[in-house]
Amino acid sequence: MPVLANAKKALRASRRKAAINRRTRSKMRTSVVEFKAQPDQTKLPSAFSAIDRAAKQRIIHPNKAARFKRQLNRQAKAS
């Protein structure tokens, strides 16, 4: 456990940011799984939006986001 006041504050901030990141990553994964369960054009925008939000917040790398979107788009076109 941190002893210094600034270390305690850093720990609080770190936990708060981790919770936000976890929430965003979970929403992204949930939307992708929902799309993969039933790939159609109506669920694609929500999945893209969740992926873009995660990339914008640097939770995932922008190239990884592009790769996800490309794969989902291919699945949507195939079905």
Total count of domains within the chain = 1
Mean pLDDT of 51-67: 97
For residue 4 the two structure tokens come to 């210094």
Global pTM reads 0.86
**Is residue 52 in some structural domain?**
yes
pLDDT given at position 14: 97
Cβ-based neighbours of 61, under 8 Å, separated by 6 or more: 55
Q: Which residue from 2, 16, 55, 8 is spatially nearest to 32, judged by alpha carbons?
A: 55
**Is residue 62 in some structural domain?**
yes
Neighbour-count burial of 34, counting CB atoms closer than 10 A to its CB (0-12 exposed, 13-18 middle, 19+ buried): middle
**Is residue 4 in some structural domain?**
no
**Is residue 12 in some structural domain?**
no
**Is residue 14 in some structural domain?**
no
**Is residue 18 in some structural domain?**
no
**Is residue 16 in some structural domain?**
no
**Is residue 55 in some structural domain?**
yes
- Give the structural domain span for 67: 24-78
Dihedral class, residue 2 (left if φ above 0, else alpha if ψ from -120 to 50, else beta): beta
* Banded model confidence at residue 72, pLDDT cuts 50, 70, 90: very high
pLDDT given at position 40: 86
